[in-house]
Structure 1
Amino acid sequence: MKLCFATNNQNKLREIQALLGDRFELVTLSDIGCFEEIPEPFETIQENAKAKSSYVREKYGIDCFADDSGLVVPSLNGEPGVHSAYYAGPQRSHDDNINLLLRNLTNETDRSAYFLTVISLSLGNDYYAFEGRALGAIIDEKRGTGGFGYDPVFVPDGQDRTFAEMTLAEKSQISHRSIAFAKLVDFLDNH
């Protein structure tokens, strides 16, 4: 089965390709000639994931899945949430985002957080959604050089290392994205 993964993020692509293996022919936005910025106009992760997959399906006529992810910190009223990629501004700097997050958590005792991924699958005229969460906490300094985004300050529940201190294989066992994608793969295998 040929599917488009609506991303240009090479880090996400590597993670997903490792999960999918060779069971599906995975093509990217650039493979199908989609070079425009896909609109993400909504205030929820769920709606933005659906907007991306439906945009590609409608404009390019290929079955597509898209994910939207965010870090949710309850003590910060859910920030950065849907704005995780550009929390500190339009430059989308991982370091700037982490630094702002740590400043905003300076006086907070509740540092619990979770990563949320929602995958929207546009298959023909139907839409399906798959959710994954990784529960954990935000530490007060960056640790590790792997991963991307907020990985250097996020320690998943039951672990003593950040996502950035884990190998890709270790992270893939417990990450929000891998949980959501496992649900997608299970659906596709049985559909």
Structure 2
Amino acid sequence: MLPPSRALFVPAGVAHTTAAASTAEMHSLYLLPGCCPALWAEPTVLAAAPMFAALVGHLSDPDLSGDARRRAEAVLFDVLVPAPVASVELTWPRDDRARHVADALAADPADDRDAATWAREVGASERTLSRLFVAETGVGLGRWRTRLRVRTALELLADGMPVAVVSRQVGYRTTSAFIAAFRREVGVTPSHCFLTA
């Protein structure tokens, strides 16, 4: 997920797709590999500083002369800076019982039912449900729910929603509790994640 403060460098020849969770504006620059300095061998998240954004807009001009394009590209390469990545991996369980819980939580991340309640709903013991989540997702139900909430929060924050509103929408009673959980999962606070470089 790329907020306006981030961009993605994709090396030539790397197959990829893009998608948007909501209305989005995307700008792509295609640069000839022979004209680029050696950058990164893998897709790399970049800080989209104001200078970078201005250069993307300038280079998008189809009437730009060859000399002007070469000068702008040279400056562009000077301002490409890798940025910290906020990512929350989320593996979905395969077992029908655990999948039912995961799907319900995805539909309403603020649902605060405990593991015992979920276990009764899906016809399993709390211990069985817990084992299923650990075996199939690598984490227990509580940690999985936290990751889901943080992942959902990333999408809402990228849309520009205020942190206090996001924290309530994903199930936290206080903004400080949300910020603490977010920092544990992502490594930075929500506001730091979306700072313009």
Q: Which has the higher helix share?
A: 2
Per the normalisation by structure 2, the TM-score is: 0.26
Per the normalisation by structure 1, the TM-score is: 0.27
Higher CA-based Rg: 2
